[in-house]
Amino acid sequence: MKKVGFFQSIRFKLILTIILLLLFPIQVIGAYFSQQLESELFSEFQQSVEKNIQYLDYQLEQAFAKERKEGGPTLQEDVQSILADTNFLEEITDLQVINNNSRIIGTNNPYETNNIGKKSTETRVKRTLLTGTKDQTIVLDEGERMLIMTFPIYTQNDTNTTDQDVPPSGAIYVKAQLEGVYGQLQNINKIFTNGTILGISISALLGIVIARTITKPITEMGRHAKVMGTGDFSQKVNVYGRDEIGQLASSFNELNDKLKLSQATTEGERRKLSSVLANMTEGVIATDHRGCIILMNEPASRLIGKSFESVQGQSMLDVLHIHDRLEDISEIQDTGSIIIDFSEDSQHLLLKASFSMVQYENEEMNGFITVLSDVTEQEKIERERREFVANVSHELRTPLTTMRSYLEALTDGAWEDKDIAPRFLDVTQNETERMIRLVNDLLQLSKMDNKDYQLYREQVEFRRFFHHVIDRFEFNKEDHIQFQRSIPEDDMFVHIDKDKMTQVLDNIISNAIKYSPEGGTITFQAIRQEKQQKLLIKISDQGMGVPKENMEKIFERFYRVDKARSRKLGGTGLGLAISREMIEAHEGNIWAESKEGTGTTILFTLPLMKEKRGDDS
């Protein structure tokens, strides 16, 4: 969060508000006070001037009304004498007495005595002499404000007449400086301004204190909100009072507690979900409403062979290679599940993708959850089951068809032919025995699949046991096949079920004999593996061999390298499958090594018994 500057903070706004609330009233009061003070000072100054002139006016009236005698003082001399004896205000800089002819007959300004006897050019004087009214005005003279006033002079003869239009006998022209009045007003305004500044300064300090009191809890809440944003809910805001801000702080602390509890609950649920996703065997992929991947667990990464970082934000349709089946992500909600082939040259992999839609409370689509399951084994089992049913049907159909043909021929009269009937019956009997062997093998495999059998194990010296089984086949073998033995003379004790192991060796040796060519040799080896405490048995033939791509299949049910020859020799295709089940039941392993055209070697291991037990026997 960006730090708030002082001039953008609430504290500055509060201080500014307090100052403005104080400044505006002070300015209004100051303006009104200054205006009233100016008016009052001007009125007092005017009254002072008028009082000073009233006394002079009385004396001048006496002088104007006095009768003049020859040899006596003239009116001009009397006026000048009166002006000289009168004490005027310091502010009156120029005073003139003018007669009714507009001539100046006296002045108090020694620098203006040369104007005595001259006519006054002042318009205000002429207006006063003409109208007999007092006049005043304020003018600016050489940068100084001056008050100019004119007063009419009436004699008693003038005032006692009945004619109201008798002009005055003369006029008084007064010029007074107003700078003293305005200087006094300026000083008072300066004092008022200084007081205003002092008051505003004190108000600003008080505003800072008050604003700090108000904003401190808010600042603390802002700082704690940042801490809460990091996930730390351990701190609380101090409550400084019971006012609205105190109540806000209390509510903030309650919110902190609720968020702490909510986060703990959410974190617990998140950990549970993470644990579930991490420990699921199925892969889980979550997308947003656009189909872009936002979550994927480790099993899903292993199944598709890509890390979450490499596919994050990509379209799920592209990652799962299903864009050719679904053109748009919205079509997923109509698709329950699909099988996706992720097979490569070296590995067969089939994935089942099950889709479900995630919705908001208002049922608006928020995204999709895709669950990936490895169904390779299931599909393989299902395929093997279908193949098994088909193979069993085929294996049974062939002898049954043969038997039916021969029985129909016998029924049609062939039984009467002493040469043909025995051969037909012999074929029917062979096919019947073949079906019996097939059914017995199937029953045995079924028991093994259902673990419905028991091993009757006993301590057996395998060297003698192995020679005994080989001797039985060598006694009945054809002359064109040779047996070669490479079996050590040491005793090798194993814990086995002799019947089951005899069946294993019978199946392997029988196959070796079936596929051995003219002059071929079957090699029998027994090797003691001391470190692994195992006995390794090898039975090799020089037959046609098994192609490399089919090596994994020779232990599957009904698999034959040469199907025509196997059926001709009466094989069911279940011998090696039964052998594998029995060897694994004895805690051993069985496998094959072959090269096409050079023969096949079947190898299996059995656990060796300890020498002590062997000696005791």
Model confidence over 356-376: pLDDT tens digits?
877 766 667 778 888 888 887
Choose the weakest-confidence range: 3-12, 41-50, 146-155, 345-354.
3-12
Q: How confident is the model at residue 183 (pLDDT cuts 50, 70, 90)?
A: confident
Query: What CA–CA distance (Å, rounded) separates 353 from 348?
Result: 16
Percent of the chain with pLDDT over 90: 7
Asked whether residue 162 carries a pLDDT value surpassing 50, the answer given is no
Choose the weakest-confidence range: 59-68, 145-154, 570-579.
570-579
Task: Look at residue 175 in the predicted model and tell me its pLDDT.
Answer: 86
589 vs 355, residue with greater confidence: 589
Mean pLDDT of 610-614: 54
Task: Look at residue 526 in the predicted model and tell me its pLDDT.
Answer: 92
Asked whether residue 532 carries a pLDDT value surpassing 80, the answer given is yes
Task: Look at residue 3 in the predicted model and tell me its pLDDT.
Answer: 60
613 vs 496, residue with greater confidence: 496
Query: What CA–CA distance (Å, rounded) separates 223 from 239?
Result: 15
Q: How confident is the model at residue 380 (pLDDT cuts 50, 70, 90)?
A: confident
152 vs 410, residue with greater confidence: 152
Q: How confident is the model at residue 567 (pLDDT cuts 50, 70, 90)?
A: very low
3-state secondary structure of 578: helix
Strand 482-486's sheet: what is its strand order? 482-486, 521-529, 534-540, 599-607, 590-595
Q: How many residues does the chain have?
A: 617
Mean pLDDT of 10-22: 76
Mean pLDDT of 391-419: 75
52 vs 166, residue with greater confidence: 52
Helix (H) or strand (E) holding 252: helix 244-279
Mean pLDDT of 97-124: 84
pLDDT digits (tens, 9 = 90+) for 435-450: 776 677 677 666 666 6
Choose the weakest-confidence range: 10-24, 240-254, 590-604.
10-24
Task: Look at residue 156 in the predicted model and tell me its pLDDT.
Answer: 62
Task: Look at residue 473 in the predicted model and tell me its pLDDT.
Answer: 86
Burial label, 480 (beta-carbon count in 10 A; 0-12, 13-18, 19+) = exposed
Buried b (16+ CB within 10 A) or exposed e, 235-263: eebeeeeeeebeeebeebbeebeeeeeee
Q: How confident is the model at residue 561 (pLDDT cuts 50, 70, 90)?
A: low
Q: How many CA atoms lie within 13 A of 547 on its CB side?
A: 7
Task: Look at residue 44 in the predicted model and tell me its pLDDT.
Answer: 85
Q: How confident is the model at residue 606 (pLDDT cuts 50, 70, 90)?
A: very high
606 - beta bridge partners? 535
Task: Look at residue 226 in the predicted model and tell me its pLDDT.
Answer: 82
507 vs 524, residue with greater confidence: 524
Average pLDDT, rounded, for the chain: 80
Residue 28 phi, psi dihedral angles, 5° rounding: -65, -45
Asked whether residue 355 carries a pLDDT value surpassing 60, the answer given is yes
Query: What CA–CA distance (Å, rounded) separates 213 from 206?
Result: 10
pLDDT digits (tens, 9 = 90+) for 198-251: 888 887 788 778 777 777 777 777 778 888 877 777 778 888 777 777 888 888
Task: Look at residue 462 in the predicted model and tell me its pLDDT.
Answer: 92
Mean pLDDT of 9-28: 77
**Cα 193 from chain centroid (whole Å):** 58
CA–CA distance from 614 to each of 37, 530, 586, 609, 617 (Å)? 136, 14, 18, 7, 5
5 vs 470, residue with greater confidence: 470
Number of other CB atoms surrounding residue 536 within 10 Å: 16
Task: Look at residue 163 in the predicted model and tell me its pLDDT.
Answer: 47
Please choose, from the candidates 320, 297, 321, the residue with its C-alpha nearest in 3D space to the C-alpha of residue 308.
297
Task: Look at residue 165 in the predicted model and tell me its pLDDT.
Answer: 64
Mean pLDDT of 142-155: 85
Number of other CB atoms surrounding residue 598 within 10 Å: 13
Asked whether residue 192 carries a pLDDT value surpassing 90, the answer given is no
Task: Look at residue 617 in the predicted model and tell me its pLDDT.
Answer: 39
> For residues 33 and 39, is the Cβ–Cβ distance under 8 A?
no
Q: How confident is the model at residue 603 (pLDDT cuts 50, 70, 90)?
A: very high
Percent of the chain with pLDDT over 70: 87
The structural domains of the chain, ordered by start, are: 11-184 (3.30.450.20), 231-276 (no CATH), 280-372 (3.30.450.20), 379-449 (1.10.287.130), 458-616 (3.30.565.10)
Write the CB contacts of 104 (distance below 8 Å, at least 6 apart in sequence).
Answer: 96, 97, 98, 115, 116, 117, 118, 119, 120
Tokens of 344: 């490569």
Task: Look at residue 570 in the predicted model and tell me its pLDDT.
Answer: 47
Asked whether residue 516 carries a pLDDT value surpassing 50, the answer given is yes
527 vs 323, residue with greater confidence: 527
